[in-house]
Amino acid sequence: MGDRRLTQASYAASVRTYVPTRGPATRAAEERARDTGKLDPLVDPAEYGVIRRSLVRFDPRPDDLWTVTVGLPVPIETRLDTTGSMGHFVDVALEVLPNTYDLTSAMLPECDLQIATGIFGDCIDRFVLCRPQFEMEAEKIVRQLSLMAPQRGGGGNGGEDPHYGIFGGAYLTNAYINRIGLKGYDFTVTDEPARAYLSADQLMRIYGEHVFEKVAENGFEINRQNLPTTREVVDDLLKRAHGFVLSVGDRYNSNRFWMEHYGEERVILLPDIRYLAHAQAVIVGLTEGTLSLEEVEEFMRKHGVEQSAARALMRSVVNIPLGAQAALPNFGKGPKAGDVFREKTDLWPMDPSEVPILHGADDEPDGPIWGVEDNQI
């Protein structure tokens, strides 16, 4: 709400509140999920209206106009593989969260970084996907991560099932940034291929029985009798997000699958999961044009990446679509802090010459308000 953002102090306080001092960060959530057979609503893909939203944040003005509090909202969705040996990735995501926010925010000046970090498993698991809300504050992000229920299983059946999460990124995300012709960011972190096809039954199990109605509500038409393939889902995702696969372990079969679906330039070798934040920040910076290839290795070394890992990551990002965001027509034209909107649902802020000047103490806003639709949580 308002202009609150993640800070090192708020992160530390949130970890003390929500994360146990011993064992996995998600231990309590995993136990509740086993006992109840349900995910917490905050991370259940079928809850909170199913559609995840990334919108402008506003303060109300006394003249019924709306002031932007932070800037252009940029959604960054990350889905982590938590099958088998990767079951600890939630703990790693929590550990690197401050770096994720700080390093990536530096690549997005005057923007409102909005994070949704979820997990995926396998369709043989009780819970295939945990998908949270887009958030900006440490307390909410840490709490959501602590509520994940990794199954730590999978394997032996020809791949994992991140494509159900990618489906959500493609068709069940409502982002202001797309309305003005720009894109957010989407990362899948895995060491396995996915499957080439989706199942309508699995989609309803994950997102609820009304998933196809929700897709239609969000402006897309999906025929449950003729579902898009995983490749087609990825194609649709890339129309709305700068999407990448961060490949852990450099496995040939996995890399080949994802390169066939995303293109070689969007599959990035992640030499160590500890460097997730650095890899994401570098990709965002290169895509936005706020970081050059010549600066990548120095940037990573400055922020604690070992030389061999920095060079491996440098080699991997050299062919990504450089400046892809900066090349879009409305780049640099998004709302900034202090801009005024006539209505929260408007596409663009008012011309400054049209904004009335406020005078006096009575003109102070009563409090922060989200730029949301009436039916949004």
Mean pLDDT of all residues in 190-214: 96
- Band the pLDDT of 314: cuts 50, 70, 90: very high
Question: Residues 325-337: pLDDT tens digits?
Answer: 999 999 999 999 9
Q: Would you say how long the chain is, in residues?
A: 377
Look at residue 205 and give its three-state secondary structure.
helix
| CATH architecture of the domain covering 8-95+110-271 | 3-Layer(aba) Sandwich (3.40)
CB 118 within 8 A of CB 148: yes
> Quick one: angle between helices 89-107 and 138-146, nearest 10?
150
The model carries a pTM of: 0.93
**Left (φ > 0), alpha (ψ -120 to 50) or beta: where does 360 sit?**
left
Angstrom distances, CA of residue 179 to CA of 53, 73, 285: 12, 11, 22
Q: Residue 3 has what pLDDT?
A: 78
Question: Whole-angstrom Cα distance, residue 49 to residue 160?
Answer: 26
Taking the alpha carbons at both ends of the chain, their separation in whole angstroms is: 12
Amino acid at 190: T
Euclidean distance between CA atoms 133 and 116, whole angstroms: 6
Q: In this predicted structure, what is the pLDDT of residue 159? A: 80
| pLDDT value for 154 | 58
pLDDT score, position 376: 43
Q: Give me the chain's average pLDDT, please.
A: 91
At 313 the pLDDT is 93
**Tell me, what DSSP letter sits at residue 25?**
T
| pLDDT higher than 70, residue 38 | yes
Structure tokens at 134: 């887009």
- Quote the CA–CA distance of 101 and 84 in Å, as a whole number: 27
pLDDT band at 362 (very low <50, low <70, confident <90, very high): low
Which one is predicted more confidently, 370 or 227?
227
Q: 353 vs 5, which has greater pLDDT?
A: 353
Average pLDDT over residues 44-62: 97
pLDDT of 377 reads: 38
Q: What is the pLDDT of residue 374?
A: 42
Which range has the top average pLDDT, 90-104, 280-294, 355-369?
A: 280-294
Rounded Cα distance between 45 and 129, Å, is 7
Q: Residue 375: pLDDT band by 50, 70, 90 thresholds?
A: very low
Average pLDDT of the segment spanning 221-231: 96
**Rg of the chain on CA atoms, in Å:** 20
Average pLDDT over residues 112-123: 94
Please name the residue that has the structure tokens 């291929």.
Answer: 193
Share of the chain above pLDDT 70, in %: 93
**Given CA atoms 152, 153, 159, 163 in this order, what sign does their dihedral have?**
negative
Q: For the chain, which residues make up each domain, given as ranges?
A: 8-95+110-271
Report the side by side order of strands in the sheet with 129-130: 129-130, 111-120, 72-81, 184-190, 241-248, 267-270
